[in-house]
Amino acid sequence: MTVAATALSPYDVRLACRNGTWKEASTAGVCEGYVQANLIILPERHAADFRALCARNPVPCPLLGETKPGDPTIPSHLANDCDIRTDAPRYNVYRNGKFVETKRDIKDEWKEDSVGFLVGCSFSFEAALVKGGYMPRQIEIKRNVPMYKTKVPLCAAGALTGNMVVSMRPYPPSAIETVRDLTRPFIRAHGEPVAWGSEGAAALGIDDPTGANPDFGEASEVREGEVPVYWACGVTPQSVVMASKIEGVVLGHAPGHMLVLDMRDEDVCK
Amino acid sequence: MTVAATALSPYDVRLACRNGTWKEASTAGVCEGYVQANLIILPERHAADFRALCARNPVPCPLLGETKPGDPTIPSHLANDCDIRTDAPRYNVYRNGKFVETKRDIKDEWKEDSVGFLVGCSFSFEAALVKGGYMPRQIEIKRNVPMYKTKVPLCAAGALTGNMVVSMRPYPPSAIETVRDLTRPFIRAHGEPVAWGSEGAAALGIDDPTGANPDFGEASEVREGEVPVYWACGVTPQSVVMASKIEGVVLGHAPGHMLVLDMRDEDVCK
């Protein structure tokens, strides 16, 4: 990313998204120290099931907050003057459980019964990894993080079910215990990894542990002497929308293009 | 079970276990309306990891309470005058991650650094199923509930990892939505099922969906026109002990032979 992007405040980023001037390939590494959120916007009739899904699956779906039905602003302790229809860089649009397009804003898609949910994101622990000397590869190579669908079923909640999505960062086996320790405190940002190495990839049902061919985001490089390390990912709710064949319009952020909040990273450690 | 067993109070059951006079094949259906708990007793060095494991996997591992290190009594709001070394019907003993024997009490195994954890049990929602007209098969045929190891990995927590264990009750497909609704409120007793039918069995990695050959408990009968319905099970921590190869002595209840508490079933719905 550019130097300018790293010097921006969360509100600057939200306004740049709102004004259509935001051009970065991902929000990874942007606004160090501030929480970034996954977005999922559902018809109100699925709101109770979604809260239950998060309560039953808190590692992939750590719920940070939600909007009132039909009101696109979010509670001010999360972000001040924030309109979730415009303030993320890009959005995915789903109709009847199928992905149809990516948009820069979703003002035309927002309904009177839309409820927006904010879910924690692994980008919150990346500053801790960088500070510890464990630079996430996708920041180093200036790409979006690679994300993979898994065969691990969530605990179903009413009409909602599906499989876990994970993000991947490669590390040498000798670094894994430290990387686990560094990310464990971030309990509302997926916390420690769920699996690692070829055995972990097999347990998750990921056929290709090389970092190539991700289901979301961009390919990464697992270099010689490294293994893939997988964290639960807040794209999981979008996988749920497809698996559960939710009728009507559902909206989400575009993976890797997060809503940047005014919350601090330490706020997701409790 | 005998009529006498159903008329007993939780304290009567605990005293019968303590005195060696308890002879039932399982505690399913005993003390209707009162919570039964799974037990896992770990060396104190694993206590923080176990709390994190429960927080990350609340459906299989809903934590109800714990003892102080070395003190085998449990908080009185859970059960009055309760010694977890003697008051469950039977115990499993693990040494260095391997199951070695079943005992009637574990007074000789309890250590100064032992910490006992109480985990919610699906027996708590069985009264609601019976009342709704959905008698669990294993109560009808007077057997222990069948339990199966799955291939679904838990979200790892420190030294602890492993796969989910589930219990199975067969129902006709037309009953599944009602059975889901009836068990959903019991959020600290595994809540609604995690999977059902042949597709669910496949997702969990259970090869035999007939109710025969359970890994714990006793075989059940999936009759014509019925499918297996799977709930997460509090035997999961014992599977974790084996998968994580925990050094030293770990103790658990014998599956299906639970510690009966003074808490009411409605207390696990919040």
pLDDT digits (tens, 9 = 90+) for B222-231: 999 999 999 9
pLDDT score for B65: 96
pLDDT score for B28: 85
Q: Is the pLDDT of residue A70 over 70?
A: yes
Q: Which of B55, B58, B152 sits opposite A56 (nearest CB)?
A: B58
pLDDT score for A6: 57
Residues of B in contact with A59 (CB under 8 A): 56-57, 155
Residue of chain B whose Cα is closest to the Cα of A199: B153
Q: Is the pLDDT of residue B73 over 70?
A: yes
Whole-number Å distance between alpha carbons of A39 and A234: 8
Q: Is the pLDDT of residue A2 over 50?
A: no
Strand partners, A114: A43
Residues of A in contact with B180 (CB under 8 A): 158
pLDDT tens readout for residues A4-53: 445 899 999 999 999 999 998 889 889 989 999 999 999 999 999 999 99
Question: CA of B59, closest CA in chain A: separation in Å?
Answer: 6
**Which tokens is B165 given?**
């264990």
Residue A54's SS3 state is helix
**Which tokens is A256 given?**
């890797």
Sorted by where each starts, the structural domains of chain A and their CATH numbers stand as: 3-122+244-269 (3.40.1640.10), 132-232 (3.30.2040.10)
Whole-number Å distance between alpha carbons of A81 and A15: 10
pLDDT score for A28: 85
**Mutation for testing the B interface, residue in A53, A56, A188, A199 having most B CBs under 10 Å:** A56
Q: Is the pLDDT of residue A231 over 90?
A: yes
Residue of chain A whose Cα is closest to the Cα of B189: A56
Whole-number Å distance between alpha carbons of B136 and B270: 23
pLDDT tens readout for residues B110-136: 999 999 999 999 999 998 999 999 999
pLDDT score for A3: 43
As a whole number, the mean pLDDT across chain B is 94
pLDDT tens readout for residues A151-161: 999 999 999 99
pLDDT score for B24: 87
Q: Is the pLDDT of residue B4 over 80?
A: no
Residue of chain B whose Cα is closest to the Cα of A151: B203
Strand partners, A63: A119
pLDDT score for A1: 45
Question: Is A153's CB within 8 Å of B184's CB?
Answer: no
- Residues on chain B bordering chain A, Cβ-to-Cβ distance under 8 angstroms: 52, 55-59, 151-153, 155-158, 180, 184, 187, 191-195, 203-204, 232
pLDDT-derived band at B3, boundaries 50, 70, 90: very low
Residue of chain B whose Cα is closest to the Cα of A62: B56
| Chains A, B: CB pairs < 8 Å | 52
pLDDT score for B252: 97
pLDDT-derived band at A242, boundaries 50, 70, 90: very high
pLDDT tens readout for residues A100-150: 999 999 999 999 999 999 999 999 999 899 999 999 999 899 898 999 999
User: Can you spell out the DSSP letters for A33-97?
Assistant: TEEEEEEEEEEGGGHHHHHHHHHH-TTT--EEEEPPTT--B--TTT-TT-BTTTSSS-EEEEETT
Q: Is the pLDDT of residue B86 over 60?
A: yes
Question: Is B155's CB within 8 Å of A194's CB?
Answer: yes
CB-based burial of residue B245 (10 Å sphere; 0-12 exposed, 13-18 middle, 19+ buried)? exposed
Whole-number Å distance between alpha carbons of A245 and B64: 35
pLDDT-derived band at B1, boundaries 50, 70, 90: very low
Q: Any idea how long chain A is?
A: 270
Residue of chain B whose Cα is closest to the Cα of A203: B153
Question: CA of A73, closest CA in chain B: separation in Å?
Answer: 29
pLDDT score for B87: 98
Identify which of B113, B89, B114, B117 has the alpha carbon closest to the alpha carbon of residue B103.
Answer: B89
Buried b (16+ CB within 10 A) or exposed e, B36-74: bbbbbbbbeebbebbbbbbbbbbbbbbbbbbbeeeebbb
Whole-number Å distance between alpha carbons of B1 and B9: 15
Question: CA of A61, closest CA in chain B: separation in Å?
Answer: 11
Question: Is B194's CB within 8 Å of A153's CB?
Answer: yes
Q: Which of A55, A59, A158 sits opposite B155 (nearest CB)?
A: A59
Question: Is B193's CB within 8 Å of A156's CB?
Answer: yes
Which amino acid does the sequence have at A123? F
**Which tokens is B172 given?**
């006709």
